[in-house]
Amino acid sequence: MQTNRLVLNLDCRDSLGLVAKITSRIAALGLNLIEVNQHTDIASGWFFARIEMEAPKSGITREQFTAEFLPLASELNARWTVRYRGERVKTAILVSKADHCLDDLLWRWRSGELPMDIVAIISNHPDCAHLARREGIPFEEVRFSENGKDEAFAKLESLIHSTGAELIILARFMQVLPPALCEKFHARIINIHHSFLPAFTGGNPYARAYERGVKLIGATCHYVTPELDAGPIIEQEVVRVEHFHDTEDMKRLGRDCERLALGRGVRYHLENRILLYGQRTVVFRD
């Protein structure tokens, strides 16, 4: 975590001179602009910005910045957050049997690409326990059955809360989360769906894509909402399908899309590069 670097995310109604107001206030606080991303949605007249700032070594803290910036934010009636660059996020990863997305996330985390502390790996199967053991991460198995799902989800939610997790990643967790949990962690549950949404929602999308004869398949990283596979899209990846590819080929090709889309989507979230606007996202990619 770089305590001399702050990242400001802000969105509000667009107006003449808005950028000048914001950057002038930042300059008055003795902060240097490192990265400035902005976008105005012309149809709605709504402004979005991600601004990375650097302070002198003995400079302003996040709390001080919050107090000093608050009057302007209130004047703009803005939604905004400020975090330290590289601030680590407590994260729980949920997985079922497939391990490719989990293994890829662990590699990115181990290499320093993802600023998160993985507080638990939770699964409804034992298959991925060896990956957790390899990394020294607590592994919890929660058994699901058709007759005991309410009890299983209650245990799952209790485990998540006991870890203090701020972010939940569904790395091919093949259970539909209850609406109450989705709402509690609004914009803090990231899923990878093995389809290029909105096509082929739900289960077994590769088989349905094969039957339809698609020429492109993909994967979609999105925030989870109570409506299945309908949350705001963060990132997508596609690959071409040839006429000689069968369903197993499509699954093999799709696994690469899933890993890439999820890895990038999680990094964008951790680096505060995503701003939500209704069912859409503004993603300031690096």
229: left (phi over 0), alpha (psi -120 to 50) or beta: left
Cα–Cα distance measured from residue 73 to residue 67, given in angstroms and rounded to the nearest whole number: 10
Q: Please identify which of the residues 41, 229, 249, 256 carries the catalytic annotation.
A: 229
Distances (CA, A) of 202 to 69, 129, 206, 229: 44, 26, 11, 7
Residue 278: partners with Cβ closer than 8 Å, 6 or more residues away: 232
229 in catalytic set = yes
Q: What positions carry a catalytic annotation?
A: 229
